[in-house]
């Protein structure tokens, strides 16, 4: 990460744990601020010989290599928007990406699409490329709410709008859906339909999307005085992009829960986890909508065909607000960060009603 007097510098290296070293790591080792490291490495202002020596030693110890192209970047931006999402195979992100591209084109901007696969190293490299290309602004889905490199772009005064997920260590505009309310509504529907052992299948815990959806699940159960059984919370740790691994992981983990915990309902919290979860139910000998109820976040092409009750997200509205906020920032709006939260819609179909109940 980097920033001093408009200087931006994403560098590479390895720290003691084998992770990629950042300018913050160099600063911590040298006992100075990241801005001082940036000044010393870029030569844009004076740094005392003693401090410079400490910084050079820290750079050597960490094998840190500044990216000179990014270091020399000034905010003479292009008519290009960078769109960095976690998984282009995810129907939700694919729909958002298409809508962002259409809207950006209408305003005279081109869009560069990058796919991080929720990989922090890959995310950092793409950010390096996008910033070196002088993008006018960024619309991003942070790979990790705490460790994302996106904070570097924010601190460098590059306009950034986060979509679908928050980032907690940077002050950026954010566009979301009400994950807590959406899953809570699903719990209400299932409990009112007679279900009491509701399992939930969730993605990686490092994202605010996953944590909020689990919060909505817990709150919903407590609202109905149903104890939260941790054994019914199924976390998939597979990163985005690998659809086969996501399928196998969801099928295996939920299959074990169905076998051991006997849930009468399942909430699937994102689109890529739906196929494997439905496969687990089929393998268990259960029938969706007959002896096990299912509600899923995100609308897939197969949802209506198989009668799947879904919690749908307004992708066009999300993209529209993200582009609007970014355009305002690129035009010079320096006001406080804003957060826009959309309410998802629950589309009821046959899967959430248990016909086998007396």
DSSP states of 237-280 as a string? Answer: -PPTT-HHHHHHHHHHHHHHHHHHH--SEEEE-SGGGHHHHHHH
The residues facing 233 across adjacent strands are 200
Q: What is the pLDDT of residue 169?
A: 75
| CATH number of the domain encompassing residue 280 | 3.40.50.2300
Round the average pLDDT of the chain to a whole number and report it.
86
Both 251 and 226 in a single domain?
A: yes
Q: What is the pLDDT of residue 349?
A: 95
- The total of structural domains in the chain comes to 3
Structure tokens at 75: 């905010």
| CATH number of the domain encompassing residue 52 | 1.10.260.40
Contact criterion met (CB below 8 Å) for 310 and 347: yes
Both 86 and 168 in a single domain?
A: yes
Q: What percent of the chain has pLDDT over 90?
A: 54
Q: Determine, yes or no, domain membership for 249.
A: yes
Residue 2 has pLDDT above 60, yes or no: no
- CA-based torsion, 120, 178, 229, 233: positive or negative: negative
Q: Determine, yes or no, domain membership for 358.
A: no
Q: What is the pLDDT of residue 38?
A: 72
- Secondary structure letter of residue 352 according to DSSP: G
Q: Determine, yes or no, domain membership for 31.
A: yes
Residue 62 has pLDDT above 90, yes or no: no
Contact criterion met (CB below 8 Å) for 318 and 281: no
Query: Which position has the higher pLDDT, 300 or 23?
Result: 300
The residues facing 216 across adjacent strands are none
Tens digits of residue pLDDT in 327-352: 999 988 888 999 999 999 999 999 99
Both 214 and 296 in a single domain?
A: yes
Tens digits of residue pLDDT in 108-167: 999 999 999 988 889 888 988 888 888 999 999 998 887 778 877 877 788 999 999 988
Confidence at 226, pLDDT banded by 50, 70, 90: very high
Q: Which residues contact 29 (CB under 8 A, 6 or more apart)?
A: 58, 61, 62
Q: Determine, yes or no, domain membership for 70.
A: yes
**Farthest CA pair distance, the chain:** 83
Q: Determine, yes or no, domain membership for 106.
A: yes
Both 234 and 292 in a single domain?
A: yes
Both 301 and 186 in a single domain?
A: yes
Both 302 and 325 in a single domain?
A: no
Instruction: Give the residue numbers spanning the domain of 86.
Output: 80-177+315-342
Both 117 and 234 in a single domain?
A: no
Give ∠ CA 134-136-138 in degrees, rounded to 5. Answer: 100
Residue 215 has pLDDT above 90, yes or no: yes
Q: What is the pLDDT of residue 68?
A: 42
Both 42 and 86 in a single domain?
A: no
Both 257 and 307 in a single domain?
A: yes
Tens digits of residue pLDDT in 229-238: 999 999 998 8
What's the CA gap between 209 and 213, in Å, rounded? 6
Q: What is the pLDDT of residue 149?
A: 81
Residue 168 has pLDDT above 90, yes or no: no
Confidence at 19, pLDDT banded by 50, 70, 90: low
Domain termination residue (choose one: 28, 44, 74) = 74
Q: Determine, yes or no, domain membership for 206.
A: yes
**Which has the closest alpha carbon to 257: 288, 278, 284?**
284
Buried/exposed code over 23-62 (b: 16+ C-beta within 10 A; e: otherwise): bebbbbbbebebbbbbbbbbeeeebeeebbebbeebbebb
Contact criterion met (CB below 8 Å) for 20 and 123: no
Domain termination residue (choose one: 74, 108, 130) = 74
Q: Determine, yes or no, domain membership for 332.
A: yes
Both 148 and 224 in a single domain?
A: no
- Mean predicted confidence (pLDDT) in 46-68: 78
Q: What is the pLDDT of residue 12?
A: 45
Both 295 and 327 in a single domain?
A: no
Confidence at 7, pLDDT banded by 50, 70, 90: very low
Tens digits of residue pLDDT in 261-273: 999 999 999 999 9
Residue 279 has pLDDT above 50, yes or no: yes
Contact criterion met (CB below 8 Å) for 182 and 342: no
Domain termination residue (choose one: 46, 74, 102) = 74
Both 236 and 299 in a single domain?
A: yes
Q: Determine, yes or no, domain membership for 357.
A: no
């Amino acid at each position: 990460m980097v920033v001093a007097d408009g200087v931006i510098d994403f560098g590479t290296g390895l720290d003691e744990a084998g992770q990629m070293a950042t300018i913050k790591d160099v600063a911590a080792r040298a006992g100075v601020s990241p801005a001082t490291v940036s000044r010393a490495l870029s030569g844009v202002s004076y740094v005392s010989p003693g401090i410079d020596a400490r910084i050079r030693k820290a750079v050597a110890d960490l094998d840190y290599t500044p990216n000179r192209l990014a270091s020399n970047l000034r905010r003479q931006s292009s008519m290009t928007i960078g769109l960095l999402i976690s998984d282009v195979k995810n129907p939700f992100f694919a729909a958002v990406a298409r809508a962002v591209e259409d809207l950006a084109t209408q305003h005279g901007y081109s869009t560069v699409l990058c796919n991080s696969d929720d990989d922090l190293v890959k995310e950092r490299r793409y950010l390096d490329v996008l910033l070196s290309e002088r993008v006018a602004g960024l619309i991003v889905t942070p790979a990790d709410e705490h460790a994302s490199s996106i904070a570097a772009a924010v601190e460098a005064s590059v306009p950034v709008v986060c979509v679908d997920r928050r980032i907690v260590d940077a002050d950026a505009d954010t566009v979301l859906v009400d994950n807590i309310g959406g899953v809570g509504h699903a719990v209400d529907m299932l409990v009112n339909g007679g279900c009491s052992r509701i399992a939930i299948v969730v993605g990686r815990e490092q994202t605010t999307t996953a944590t909020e959806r689990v919060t909505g699940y817990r709150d919903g159960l407590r609202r109905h005085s149903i104890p939260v059984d941790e054994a019914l919370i199924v976390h998939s740790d597979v990163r985005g992009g690998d659809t086969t691994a996501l399928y196998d992981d969801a099928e295996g983990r939920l299959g074990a829960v169905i076998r051991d915990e006997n849930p009468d309902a399942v909430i699937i919290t994102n689109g890529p986890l739906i196929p494997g979860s439905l496969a687990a139910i089929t393998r268990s000998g259960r029938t969706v909508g007959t002896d096990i109820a299912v509600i899923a976040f995100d609308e897939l092409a197969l949802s209506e065909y198989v009668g799947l009750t879904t919690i749908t997200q307004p992708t066009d509205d999300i993209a529209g607000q993200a582009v609007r906020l970014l355009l305002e920032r690129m035009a010079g709006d320096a006001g406080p960060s804003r957060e826009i939260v959309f309410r998802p819609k629950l589309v009821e179909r046959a899967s959430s009603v248990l016909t086998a109940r007396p």
